[in-house]
Amino acid sequence: MQTASLKIGTRGSKLALAQAYETRRRLQEAHGLPEEAIEIVPMSTAGDRIQDRPLAEIGGKGLFTEEIEQALHAGEIDVAVHSTKDIPTVLPDGLHLSVYLEREDPRDAFIGRNVKKFTDLPQGAVVGSSSLRRQALIRRLRPDLKIVMYRGNVQTRLRKLEEGEVDGTFLAAAGLRRLGLQDVITDLMEPEHFLPAPGQGAIAIESRIGDARIDALLAPLAHRETQIALACERAFLGHLDGSCRTPIAGLAIIDQGQLRFNGMILTPDGTQAHHVSGEGSIADAAAIGEDAAKRVRAMAGSDFFKDW
């Protein structure tokens, strides 16, 4: 397939660029395109520029996508490459998540400065995290630890750890692997104890609805099982109105045509948590996620959500 120059919009961090390069490489391989046929367009987002406050205080997930989506809508770029967990469940009119690349490891990684395992942190140790979900899970498992707000890209967070600002931190294992930094991981958190964010580990490609040329280019990159799992996880998140203000976790696993989902909602202080599970045919992925969300809402009661 021959095509004119294709523009890929992305955040400018090293991780975001690595994900855009991965997308470009796959497009080249799928269509025999030279590298110069696909331009990477790094863009600054509000989420990258504002580093002194938690995301929950300044608008949530859309801060990492809004400017890129505006450029996509205006035709200044042809596709946008995102970390799925950064994308709000409601997209701007005219745009859709057309393709998911094959998901990487969805687990959270603990990186300790003087200890390897999260459970080995001494009483009162300082852990850095800006994720409300991770903060709530940390508080639930280890209420003795001190948690500090910890914004910045992967390299900034690792530098702060090395300099002794914190005793440990959590990052997505997938991001560290994509950056070739998997060796810094000291402990991988198993989902049964530390459930990841919905969409964690998956790269999503956003495009304009009805753009046949782009749809044809992207089609070979689509990973069916990832798309099915994410349909479930994002339905769960969407029905709970999930944002960076809400500690929500969820993971769908596909095995022999069946889907198993585990979800969780927590209060920010970690003192209350409700688990939910569901399973069924992959054809019902979104319905399984939505049903799980309805059941966990009923389980938690209306007061649980009053401050969300």
Q: For helices 14-31 and 154-162, what crossing angle results, to 10°?
A: 140
Write phi, then psi, for 299 (nearest 5 degrees): -65, -40
Alpha-carbon gap, residue 87 to 64, rounded angstroms: 8
Burial of 180 (0-12, 13-18, 19+ CB in 10 A): exposed
Q: How far is CA 107 from CA 176, 187, 262, in A?
A: 11, 10, 14
Alpha-carbon gap, residue 176 to 162, rounded angstroms: 16
Annotation marks residue 86 as catalytic: yes
Alpha-carbon gap, residue 262 to 274, rounded angstroms: 11
Q: Where are the alpha helices (DSSP H) in the chain?
A: 14-31, 46-49, 55-58, 66-73, 132-141, 154-162, 173-178, 212-218, 224-239, 285-300
Which residues pair with residue 260 across a beta bridge? Answer: 253, 279
Alpha-carbon gap, residue 253 to 187, rounded angstroms: 22
Catalytic residue among 78, 86, 108, 291: 86
Q: What is the DSSP letter of 103?
A: P
Catalytic positions, written as ranges: 86
